[in-house]
Amino acid sequence: MTSVELSQVKKSFGTVDVIKGVDLAIKDGEFVVFVGPSGCGKSTLLRLIAGLEDITAGTLKIGGEVVNEVPPSKRGIAMVFQSYALYPHMSVYNNMAFGMKLAKASKDEIDKRVKAAADILQLTPYLHRLPRALSGGQRQRVAIGRAICRNPEVFLFDEPLSNLDAALRVATRIEIAKLHESMPDTTMIYVTHDQVEAMTLADRIVVLNAGRIEQVGSPMDLYLHPDNLFVARFMGSPAMNTVPCTIDSGGGTPVVTPLGGKPVGVEIDIPDSARGQKGTFGVRPEDLTLTDAGNAIFTGTIQIVEKLGEVTLIYVDCGTANEPVLAKLDGIANLKKGETVHLGAPTRALHVFDAEGKAYRRRD
Amino acid sequence: MAIAGSRKSSGITNHVLVAIIVILWTVPTFGLFVSSLRDKDQLSVSGWWTALTTTESNNTGRAPPPSEQVERDGSFVLAGNLFAEGGSGTVVSFGTRVQNPNEFQAGQTGDIGDGVSLTVNADGSFEMVSPVAFEGSRGQRIFYRAGMPPRFTLDNYREVLASAGIGQSFVNSLTVTIPATIIPILIAAYAAYALAWMKFPGRALLLSLVVGLLVVPLQMSLIPLLKLYNDIGTLFGVDAKTYVGIWIAHTGFGLPLAIYLLRNYIAGLPREIMESARIDGASDFDIFVRIVLPLSLPALASFSIFQFLWVWNDLRVAIVFLGAQNDQLVLTARLVNLLGSRGSNWEILTASAFITILVPLVVFLSLQRFLIRGLLAGSVKG
């Protein structure tokens, strides 16, 4: 039993409320990723679970037991820090053995576990080196190895890949995914601001904003059915185009008119009562394609063209409030600044949010 | 380019500054060392920078009395050696009047009146020749200028260590200094960890108190402290002037700076390391002993050097808290005494002074390797 349950967990530093009441149930063996913008409280939430910060209000249960007052070392957790936090004066071996030595484990037991962890992470040749003689990726592997040695029931990662360069990040990400597969009973909680990490690693993603949970769901769930504007704009890169719109009709054949665009039918459950109300129309850049004037939602002149080889990003001024509409076109599109283009999208790819930013449910 | 240029010029400035500091420090030390090894006669007449050249000095010798004259070829001769009664070197010039020892060059034959001629050779041998017999009971005085070859000796150190009491004082100084360095470091390290990483009410107040104590002048608190110590001592029947007393005094005077410096250093250690250790199950004591202490070695070493030097060179606290008898007189106090009683014996003073600075030198050179930076390399993002 290594579920983690938070109910109405709050945290304040002085008068500043950082976590404003979080309810979350993490199942046994689940890989949960916390994402959110800087300062949203995702790291604080992880530190509350680790016991590095005291919980101001609410209860935290690990494995069914309330652990609000239990010291970190007794919670059955292990944590991997962004900055590795290795003990600089100890060899890799001693770094990994430190916790067990404190717990007065036998020499054989320590040796066995350190060797096993080193084996998994290919650290065996470096066991007697000091951290300063290792590369960044190796250091982070040592940090992960140290956590494995604790044989934790809950594994906590605090932005573990942020200090690595791009190539190492991908490699280490895959290693973490493998690690999760090899330890199916271990619950993992992972904090990141990197969407790719979140999408690829998570069983479920928790999107946090300003100390509150915006939405919890599987990666595809969040991508396809964002609950609200914040999640819609946060998940996906580049961010979803959101344009104020008027709801022309609801019910069976809902139609909305985005600002600067033409009326468009959507496959979304919009109640008839919403007719005539203001809302927000959303469409992901990758769903927009070049089309003819008849099928276009937006028409405008290109402001910027960014060719990335794999895709071409165009910023089109369609008279939609402040931001230009961004479209992500496949391949190398032969377009120039100043050209007029027509952008369209399949009707099932569109999103509509009500005046409060809450999403109308899309039909699948 | 501009940046590169300014960096280069500041590099040169740095080098020049360092060179000046090194010269300012090294030259007097070296001079002291050379002086302490020189012959005391040479030391009193010329500076240490002439130590490798011949020293010239004016001396007086006396020819044998007329009773020892010999007759040779119809002349009367008195012969001898100026260095026969001690002294060495080479005669440069000579004369018979005290005002003018440079009247004749060595090897020359000089007429010294009454038909008497005097020849003095460089090796000191001389011959006085007179056509008539010498009369009188005392020999003629010969003033000469002699050059002494450089001479180095350990005699000064032998004398200083054995008879001037420096040896005993050296031991006394060590007796004061070693505990007075270790005790405050130990206390300060614990306090610094607590002030940096443990949460308890009044922590900020305590810290500001420590900072406040930094500026208490020693002169102001010395006598009240002594009185307090004596009163408490009397209560328990302890002697007024003991080593324990001075240890406590030095500990007290050293603690504010020690706590302040160490706290700042320890507070700068990465938080994640402590948190990681806490998750690994370490108590505050474990963290302190196994992580903070090893990582703070540079700070501990540099403060030990400060404290050691300060206590070793201290005179005020020592003369207030220790007695003047032989078994309590520290080196600095002994030097002061020597300056008074044997102020003209340069060979004693230089040798004593060099013995005094020897220990700080050794301490600094042996601990300076801890001062290198980068002990933290590899712990956090690198």
**What are A203-239's pLDDT values in tens digits?**
999 999 999 999 999 999 999 999 999 999 999 888 9
- Cβ atoms within 10 A of the Cβ of A356, count? 9
What pLDDT sits at residue B88?
Answer: 67
Partner-chain residue, chosen from B280, B377, B379, that has the shortest CB–CB distance to A99: B280
What pLDDT sits at residue B377?
Answer: 45
For an interface test with B, the pick among A89, A90, A134, A163 (most B C-beta atoms closer than 10 Å) comes out as A89
Q: Would B358 be classed as within a structural domain?
A: yes
Which region, left, alpha or beta, applies to residue B107 given φ > 0 means left and ψ of -120 to 50 means alpha?
left
Q: Would B38 be classed as within a structural domain?
A: yes
Distances (CA, A) of A125 to A117, A168, B294: 13, 19, 25
Please, are residues B317 and B246 in contact by the beta-carbon 8 Å criterion? yes
Closest to A147 (Cα-Cα) out of A173, A204, A104, A186: A186
Query: Which tens digits make up the pLDDT trace of B86-136?
Result: 666 778 788 877 777 777 887 778 777 777 888 888 777 888 888 887 777
For chain A, what percent of residues have pLDDT higher than 70? Answer: 99
Q: Would B121 be classed as within a structural domain?
A: yes
**How many domains would you assign to chain B?**
3
Q: What is the CATH number of the domain that holds B234?
A: 1.10.3720.10
Contacts with B381 from chain A: Cβ below 8 Å: 82-84, 136, 163
- For B:322-381, CB contacts with A below 8 A are 374-381
What is the enclosing helix (H) or strand (E) of B105?
strand B104-105
A131–B contact, CB cutoff 8 A: yes
Q: Would B282 be classed as within a structural domain?
A: yes
B203 and B269 together in one domain: yes
B281–A contact, CB cutoff 8 A: yes
Partner-chain residue, chosen from B276, B290, B375, that has the shortest CB–CB distance to A85: B276
B34 and B60 together in one domain: no
A139–B contact, CB cutoff 8 A: yes
What pLDDT sits at residue B8?
Answer: 62
- For A:257-316, CB contacts with B below 8 A are none
Please, are residues B239 and B323 in contact by the beta-carbon 8 Å criterion? no
A144–B contact, CB cutoff 8 A: no
Q: Would B261 be classed as within a structural domain?
A: yes
Distance from CA of A330 to the nearest CA of B (A): 38
Contact assignment for A102 to B375 by CB distance below 8 Å: no
B87 and B33 together in one domain: no
Partner-chain residue, chosen from A73, A87, A103, that has the shortest CB–CB distance to B278: A73
B12 and B75 together in one domain: no
Distances (CA, A) of A282 to A225, A259, A264, A298, B141: 12, 11, 12, 12, 122
Q: Please report the domains of chain A, with CATH numbers, ordered by start residue.
A: 4-231 (3.40.50.300), 238-353 (2.40.50.140)
Looking at every residue in chain A, the average pLDDT score rounds to 90
B289–A contact, CB cutoff 8 A: no
B286–A contact, CB cutoff 8 A: yes
Question: Which one has a higher pLDDT value, A155 or B68?
Answer: A155
What pLDDT sits at residue B2?
Answer: 44
B225–A contact, CB cutoff 8 A: no
The angle, 0 to 180 degrees and rounded to 10, between the axes of the packed helices B166-197 and B243-267 is 40
Contacts with A84 from chain B: Cβ below 8 Å: 272, 379-381
Give me the DSSP letters along A2-64: --EEEEEEEEEETTEEEEEEEEEEE-TT-EEEEE-STTSSHHHHHHHHHTSS--SEEEEEETT
What pLDDT sits at residue A293?
Answer: 86
Contact assignment for A131 to B286 by CB distance below 8 Å: no
Residue A272's pLDDT band (cuts 50, 70, 90): confident
Query: Which tens digits make up the pLDDT trace of A68-109?
Result: 999 998 999 999 998 889 999 999 999 999 999 998 989 999
A83–B contact, CB cutoff 8 A: yes
Question: Is residue B237's pLDDT more than 50?
Answer: yes
For an interface test with B, the pick among A44, A77, A84 (most B C-beta atoms closer than 10 Å) comes out as A84
B263 and B305 together in one domain: yes
A141–B contact, CB cutoff 8 A: no
Looking at every residue in chain B, the average pLDDT score rounds to 83
Query: Which tens digits make up the pLDDT trace of A41-68?
Result: 999 999 999 999 999 999 999 988 999 9
Contact assignment for B381 to A85 by CB distance below 8 Å: no
Contact assignment for A132 to B378 by CB distance below 8 Å: yes
Would you state the structure tokens that stand for residue B218, as one six-digit string? 């020693």
Contacts with B375 from chain A: Cβ below 8 Å: 88-89
What φ, ψ does residue B371 adopt, rounded to 5°? Answer: -80, -10
Question: Is residue B266's pLDDT more than 50?
Answer: yes
Of B118, B148, B178, the last residue of a domain is B148
What pLDDT sits at residue B140?
Answer: 77
A125 DSSP assignment: G
Query: Which tens digits make up the pLDDT trace of B296-335?
Result: 888 888 888 889 989 999 988 898 888 888 888 898 888 8
Residue B378's pLDDT band (cuts 50, 70, 90): very low
Contacts with B374 from chain A: Cβ below 8 Å: 132
Please, are residues B329 and B322 in contact by the beta-carbon 8 Å criterion? yes
* b (16+ CB within 10 A) / e for B351-367: bbbbbbbebeeebeeeb
B179 and B68 together in one domain: no
Which residue from A minimizes the CA distance to B293?
A: A89
What pLDDT sits at residue B193?
Answer: 95
B334 and B227 together in one domain: yes
B308 and B165 together in one domain: yes
Distance from CA of A254 to the nearest CA of B (A): 53
Would you state the structure tokens that stand for residue B155, as one six-digit string? 């005699």
Question: Is cis: bond before B131, omega within 30 of 0?
Answer: no
Of B123, B148, B173, the last residue of a domain is B148
Contacts with A102 from chain B: Cβ below 8 Å: 280-282, 286
Query: Which tens digits make up the pLDDT trace of B85-100?
Result: 666 677 878 887 777 7
What pLDDT sits at residue A241?
Answer: 92
B182 and B304 together in one domain: yes
Please, are residues A218 and A205 in contact by the beta-carbon 8 Å criterion? yes
Distance from CA of A163 to the nearest CA of B (A): 7
Please, are residues B120 and B126 in contact by the beta-carbon 8 Å criterion? yes
B279–A contact, CB cutoff 8 A: yes
d(CA B247, CA B255) in angstroms, rounded, equals: 12
Total length of chain B: 382
- For B:254-273, CB contacts with A below 8 A are 270, 272-273
B204 and B330 together in one domain: yes
Residue B7's pLDDT band (cuts 50, 70, 90): low
Question: Is residue B79's pLDDT more than 80?
Answer: yes
Partner-chain residue, chosen from A52, A132, A150, that has the shortest CB–CB distance to B377: A132
Contact assignment for B379 to A72 by CB distance below 8 Å: no
Please, are residues A80 and A101 in contact by the beta-carbon 8 Å criterion? no
* b (16+ CB within 10 A) / e for A17-38: ebbebbebebeebbbbbbbbee
Mean pLDDT of A330-344: 90
B119 and B247 together in one domain: no
Distance from CA of A164 to the nearest CA of B (A): 9
* b (16+ CB within 10 A) / e for B321-342: bbeeeeebbbbbbbbeebeeee
Give the SS3 label for residue A360. Answer: coil
B350 and B325 together in one domain: yes
Contact assignment for B278 to A139 by CB distance below 8 Å: no
A136–B contact, CB cutoff 8 A: yes
A13–B contact, CB cutoff 8 A: no
Distance from CA of B187 to the nearest CA of A (A): 23
Query: Which tens digits make up the pLDDT trace of A279-303?
Result: 999 999 999 999 988 888 999 999 9
Which residue from A minimizes the CA distance to B274?
A: A85
Full domain range(s) for residue B344: 157-371
Residue A323's pLDDT band (cuts 50, 70, 90): confident
Contacts with B300 from chain A: Cβ below 8 Å: none
Distances (CA, A) of A105 to A108, A194, A321, B351: 8, 38, 65, 59
Q: Would B138 be classed as within a structural domain?
A: yes
Mean pLDDT of B42-53: 79
Residue B372's pLDDT band (cuts 50, 70, 90): low
Of B36, B51, B66, the last residue of a domain is B51
B161–A contact, CB cutoff 8 A: no
Would you state the structure tokens that stand for residue A34, as one six-digit string? 């916390």
**ipTM of predicted complex:** 0.84
Distance from CA of A321 to the nearest CA of B (A): 43
Q: Would B175 be classed as within a structural domain?
A: yes
Query: Which tens digits make up the pLDDT trace of B242-256?
Result: 898 899 999 999 999
B292–A contact, CB cutoff 8 A: no
A116–B contact, CB cutoff 8 A: no
